[in-house]
Amino acid sequence: MIRQVYISFIAAIIVLTGCHTQKNATDAKSEQSYISEAQKLEVHLSSGNNSGKGSILLSFTVTNPTNKPLRFCKWETPFEPAIGKYFGITDEKGEEALFRGAMARRVMPPPASALTTVPAHGSVKTIIDLADKYELTGHRYTVSYTGGGVSGLKEGNKITLSL
């Protein structure tokens, strides 16, 4: 009798372990799905209203040129502005601006709450103040979104900012 209970217990553990592995495979497939969707989105940078002293505003727009809604992960984008270095900023001499913001390591895959949906033929936009995260002491900078990584977004255009 004890032997039958023991065998049943071992069988239950094996079945439950198999179910857990199946869930992880599904999560990995979902992760790959949003990355392939994000690759179809377009990133556009433009200068914000920079008339105020001490702020350097940048508009970050993600556009969906397709006929269906697409997702990207907001991690490593200005849609999660408090964390991460996701811009390449160089001065006239080619020297990179000093980043002074926070960095984070994440556990993959991202939860559903980290994904942003862009409607078909629509866009989402945010404005970020580069002066909050970068040491910008020069007069002219080239700015680009570094792209890739966990967000899945491509680089997009480069812009020049004059301070």
Peptide bond into 110 cis (omega under 30): no
> Any residues with CB less than 8 A from the CB of 26 and at least 6 apart, and which?
none
Q: What residues contact residue 151 under an 8 Å CB cut-off, 6+ apart?
A: 38, 72, 73, 74, 75, 76, 77, 86
Tens of pLDDT, residue by residue, the chain (163 residues): 676 655 666 666 666 665 544 444 444 455 568 888 888 999 999 987 765 567 789 999 999 999 999 999 998 899 987 778 889 999 999 999 989 877 777 777 888 889 999 999 999 999 999 988 898 887 889 999 997 788 899 998 999 988 7
Structure pTM? 0.76
Domain positions in the chain are 2-162
At 51, which amino acid appears? S
Name the CATH topology of 2-162. Immunoglobulin-like (2.60.40)
